[in-house]
Amino acid sequence: HAKRLNAQLATVFIDVDLFKHINDSFGHSIGDEMLVELAKRLRSQLREQDVLSRIGGDEFVALVSGIQQLEDANLVIEQLRQVFEQPFVVSTGDHLRLTASMGVSIYPSDGANADTLLRNADAAMYRAKSEGRNNYAFYTESLTKESIEHLKLQSALYGALEQNALYLMYQPKLDLVSRKTIGVEALLRWNDPVLGQISPGVFIPVAEKIGLIYDIGLWVLETACLQGVRWLAEGKPFGRIAVNVAGQQLQRSSFVEDVKRILAETGLPATCLELEVTESVMMHNPDTAIRDLKLLGDLGIELSVDDFGTGYSSLNYLKKLPIHKLKIDQSFVRDIPFDTNNTAIAKAVIALGHALKLEIVAEGVETQEQAEFLTQNLCDQAQGYLFSRPLLPADVEAFLAK
């Protein structure tokens, strides 16, 4: 049929999760009742020209024609999934909930005949189930839910810069002995009008993948510098503003010039800026990375290695890097002093850093115990929810005035 229409066809394999469990606890008749109701509900979500068949105990197949693009297939899945949002009311009066796993294959790319399409939809369904029930997957890897989410993010991210959907929050960093604020870290936020608030842990990797991180990184730097200049003019003692730099930014030969230009244009003294880089900067071209970091350091910018201990830590390179600070990653700060491994790692990083004449900052400090332990073990600075969450500029001002 689809061949004649020259359109694409989605084969959706639907398998109810844990159905045997319902039959075992409530009896077969309840199970049959639910399946009839389920078939009706699934059918009502499809158009007249689509086909729904029950092919086994609790397995259904839907054939949906007219699929032109990813979004169409995604929409069909969303509609079929809605069926499971309402509980099933059975003759005993019980309200039961069902979930299902779904697998999708698309004609003609995933198969030219019914057998292949069905087999591939079934394979996709098994993959969905293995990733946790109540899930779905496309047969073709490139069409999985995750990449659809990524596609959505990608196109939205292109607009984010122009639409002013990006903004910065600032998290204070404190000296552990005096408990005074010695700096703030700029953390990027994205509030998309359609997708809502998206975490940088999600969208930064996407921005890196599509090569948008460079422009976004420049925007962050410029915005943070302008904020710093404003605080300087108002006499707010914020210390240094730290900006995160992705590996890809430092790999561009224009990065040092761009930083110089932004400092000049905004008027922020280099001594008010800190750049946080990860160990990954050393992965490609360590020699150019070392040279560029040295140029930045010579300007008066403070340089920190972020997430220290989670990446590519060659002590040989660490020794050569012209840096001033190590930030102990929050995964090592978690549960100290109770987790003996993390406690040993934190102590070792502090000792290593001090031996290399570096300052040590602990990130993700949430409890008084952590702060006390770090202070006793001579960690220099700390950052975390215990002291302050990331704040909007006005709240930073209030924090500094405390």
Residue ranges that bind ligand C2E, judged by CB under 6 A: 171, 187-188, 199-201, 204, 217, 220, 244, 246, 306-307, 330, 363-366, 383-385, 390
For residue 213, the surrounding DSSP H or E stretch is helix 213-233
Position among 9, 15, 272, 361 found at the interface with Ca ion (CB under 5 A): 15
User: For the sheet containing 59-67, what is the strand order?
Assistant: 51-56, 59-67, 8-16, 100-107, 136-138
- Interface residue with Ca ion, options 19, 60, 88, 373 (CB under 5 A): 19
State the binding partner of 58 from ligand C2E, Ca ion, none, CB within 5 to 8 A by kind. Ca ion
Q: Residue 222 is encoded by which pair of tokens? A: 């410029």
The site for Ca ion, by CB under 5 A, has a size of 9
Read out DSSP for 44-76?
Answer: HTS-TTSEEEEEETTEEEEEEEEE-SHHHHHHH
Nearest to Ca ion of 93, 132 (CB atom): 132
CB of 154 to ligand C2E, least distance (A): 17
Q: Which partner in Ca ion, ligand C2E, none is near 220 (CB below 5 to 8 A by kind)?
A: ligand C2E
Which residue number, 126 or 387, has a Cβ lying nearer to ligand C2E? Answer: 387
Residue 184 DSSP SS3: strand
Interacting partner of 19 out of Ca ion, ligand C2E, none (Cβ under 5 to 8 A depending on kind): Ca ion
- Cis bond leading into 87, ω under 30°? no
Burial of 296: CB neighbours in 10 Å, binned 0-12, 13-18, 19+: buried
Stretch that binds Ca ion, among 10-18, 35-43, 197-205, 388-396 (CB under 5 A): 10-18
Using rule CB under 5 A, residue 274 touches Ca ion: no
Nearest to 104 by CA among 124, 134, 78: 124
Partner in contact with 335, chosen from ligand C2E, Ca ion, none, beta carbon below 5 to 8 Å by kind: none
Q: Which of 274, 276, 279, 302 forms a contact with Ca ion (CB under 5 A)? A: 276
By CB under 5 A, is residue 122 in contact with Ca ion? no
Strands 196-198 and 181-192: antiparallel
Per CB under 5 A, 302 contacts Ca ion: no
State how far the Cα of 62 lies from the Cα of 43, in Å rounded to an integer: 9
Q: From residue 69 to residue 98, what is the string marking binding to Ca ion with x (rule CB under 5 A)?
A: ------------------------------
Stated length of the chain: 402
In sequence order, the 6+-apart residues with CB closer than 8 A to the CB of 252 are: 214, 258
Residue closer to ligand C2E, measured from CB, 131 or 366: 366
Is the CB of residue 45 less than 8 Å from the CB of residue 82?
yes
Question: Considering the complex, what minimum distance in angstroms separates the CB of residue 26 from ligand C2E?
Answer: 43
Contact positions toward Ca ion, by CB under 5 A?
A: 15-16, 19, 58, 244, 276, 306-307, 329
